[in-house]
């Protein structure tokens, strides 16, 4: 029996983008919704984004923890951003602001999220993770060497690896495995400012993916970020307006 899974990732505190995307997700009537982490950091309304995800989970969605969820919940910046010799002050300030903006209950929710979830559809196994199997920080981006990609995806028996982290929507059929990245719902880097998400269909041995985009008004989100006044907010606001990483 076929299963249709709606995939979202990297909401990053952009509740407006998530709300818009969910209207289209619900119209698509998937069998399951999965969220691949990074719920709160950078956007102006992290608490609203977390509450919306928790409501999805209460209705049966699967949710995993991203690396920035660790930064926000526990202020463990080295664990969240291991590629930096010294974590930039802009990252630290944004995480501390987000931490202080959340309730204890919301922070505990981020801490309790699992790193991975699995879904079995007939004989096919689907892995839901943030960056790659076994890692919340080692991604599967197009800039990663193919031999490294193979090494990372073979850390799981799952035929389909659903992940985020790169903020760029991507679908790759490796022959014996698929990589499905729905892109970023709230903080896109690929030149399209819309809320990115995907529908994965697993039907026996057949895998198909539809990458989708929901347009929403980015200007109020951008304005709210600019008015927040943290160092780096002008660049975060520009990223949300343009869909390109501005720094």
For the whole model, what pTM was predicted?
0.97
Using the predicted structure, report yes or no on whether residue 80 has a pLDDT greater than 90.
yes
Q: Determine the average pLDDT of the residues in 139-156.
A: 97
Q: In whole numbers, what is the pLDDT of the chain averaged over residues?
A: 97
Look at residue 224 in the predicted model and tell me its pLDDT: 98
Alpha-carbon gap, residue 8 to 138, rounded angstroms: 19
Q: Determine the average pLDDT of the residues in 221-237.
A: 97
Backbone angles phi, psi at 20, to 5 degrees: -65, -45
User: Residue ranges per domain, the chain?
Assistant: 3-242
Q: Determine the average pLDDT of the residues in 216-220.
A: 98
DSSP string spanning the chain? --EEEEEE---TT-HHHHHHHHHHHHHH--SEEEE-S--SSSSS-HHHHHHHHHHHHHTT-EE---HHHHHHHH--HHHH-TT-SS--HHHHHHHHHHHHHS-HHHHHHHHH--S-EEEEETTEEEEE-SSBTTBSSS---TTS-HHHHHHHHTTSS-SEEE--SSSS-EEEE-SS-EEEE---SSS--BS--SEEEEEEEEETTEEEEEEEEE---HHHHHHHHHHH--TTHHHHHHHHHHSB---
Rounded to the nearest 10°, the torsion over CA 89, 92, 96, 98 is 110
pLDDT bracket for residue 1 (50, 70, 90): confident
Architecture per CATH, 3-242? 4-Layer Sandwich (3.60)
């Amino acid at each position: 029996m076929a299963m249709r899974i709606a995939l979202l990732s990297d909401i990053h505190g952009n509740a407006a983008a998530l709300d818009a995307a969910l209207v289209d997700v619900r119209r698509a009537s998937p069998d399951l919704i999965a969220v691949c982490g990074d719920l709160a950091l950078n956007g102006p309304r992290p608490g609203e984004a977390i509450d919306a995800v928790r409501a999805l989970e209460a209705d049966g969605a699967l949710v995993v923890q991203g690396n920035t969820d660790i930064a926000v919940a526990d202020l463990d910046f080295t664990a969240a951003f291991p590629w930096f010799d010294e974590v930039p002050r802009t990252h630290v300030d944004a995480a501390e602001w987000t931490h202080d903006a959340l309730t204890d209950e919301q922070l505990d929710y981020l801490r309790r999220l699992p790193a991975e979830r699995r879904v079995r559809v007939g004989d096919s196994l689907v892995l839901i993770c943030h960056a790659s199997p076994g890692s919340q920080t080692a991604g599967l981006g197009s800039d990663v060497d193919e031999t490294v990609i193979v090494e990372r995806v073979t850390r799981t028996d799952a035929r389909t690896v659903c992940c985020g982290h790169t903020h760029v929507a991507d679908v790759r059929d490796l022959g014996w495995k698929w990589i499905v990245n729905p892109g970023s719902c709230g903080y896109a880097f690929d030149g399209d400012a819309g809320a990115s998400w995907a529908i994965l269909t697993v039907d026996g041995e057949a895998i198909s993916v539809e990458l989708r985009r929901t347009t929403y008004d980015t200007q109020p989100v951008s304005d709210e970020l600019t008015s927040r006044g943290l160092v780096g907010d002008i660049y975060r606001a520009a990223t949300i307006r343009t869909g390109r990483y501005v720094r």
